[in-house]
Amino acid sequence: MPRTCSTFLFILFLAARIHAFDTVILDAGHGGHDRGAAIGHVYEKHLALDTTRRVQQLLTSAGLKVVMTRNTDVFIPLQGRSAIGNSRSNAIFVSIHYNHSRGGSGHGIETFHCHRTGYQLAAYIQAYMVKESGLQNRGVKRANFHVIRATTNNPAVLVECGFVSNRSERNAMIAGNYRNQIAEGIAKGIIAYRQK
Ligand SMILES: [Zn+2]
């Protein structure tokens, strides 16, 4: 085979391998004494765990391996979460949170990445979350949150699935249907990113 041709095929092979992960590390934000955003009895830690379990089910049904940083209401330090994020190869890391803003007017969904390697994954998840939920698109943003900064072995993103501080979003997110739509969006975004 001519050298240029074999080089070309090798590049194609590498390109095809870029998104060939088989494991999804899901990180439900907060837990235990850390409630996260909280209004009345609505706690971010519960919403995040429930949404993460729904995503876990959808991804497992689609044939992907799923690792959960927590599967119960326990506190895990941020360093422990990013250590799990770095502990697997051929993986991606998705941290799931609900949002809060002073005054309560903030609304909609947004997805964060820190390193460039997470940008495309963030864009896919954000697009599918918006499509499934019909919520306001706050876009893909860059931030220095610990879990996505310190998870460097794998593409890493952090999703904010609506505002606990916003009365109408809070009233919607306490129903399973809202969290189902968000979970569908996250799972579909992950699967579309993988198939690209
Ligand atoms: Zn949070």
For residue 106, give Cα distances in angstroms to 17, 56, 84.
39, 28, 31
CA of 178 to the centre of ligand 1 (A): 18
Read off the DSSP letter of residue 166.
Answer: S
- Model confidence at 4: pLDDT above 60: no
52 CA distance to ligand 1 middle (Å)? 13
Q: Is the pLDDT of residue 5 over 90?
A: no
pLDDT of 18 > 60? The answer is no
* Contact residues for 101 (Cβ-Cβ < 8 A; gap 6+): 163, 165, 166
Average pLDDT along the chain? 93
Bridge-based pairing of strands 137-142 and 65-68 is unpaired
Q: Taking the model in full, what pTM does it have?
A: 0.91
Give the number of other CB atoms < 10 A from CB of residue 105. 10
Q: How many whole angstroms from 171 Cα to the centroid of ligand 1?
A: 18
- DSSP state, residue 174: T
| 195, burial (CB in 10 Å: exposed 0-12, middle 13-18, buried 19+) | exposed
Which residue has tokens 């996250």? 186
The answer, yes or no, to whether residue 171 has pLDDT greater than 80, is yes
Lateral strand order in the sheet of 23-28: 65-68, 23-28, 91-99, 156-163, 109-113, 137-142
| Full set of structural domains in the chain with CATH | 17-195 (3.40.630.40)
For residue 160, the CA-to-ligand 1 centroid distance in Å is: 8
Q: What is the pLDDT of residue 20?
A: 82
Residue 196 has what pLDDT? 87
pLDDT digit string, tens, across residues 75-127: 999 999 999 999 999 999 999 999 999 999 999 999 999 999 999 999 999 99
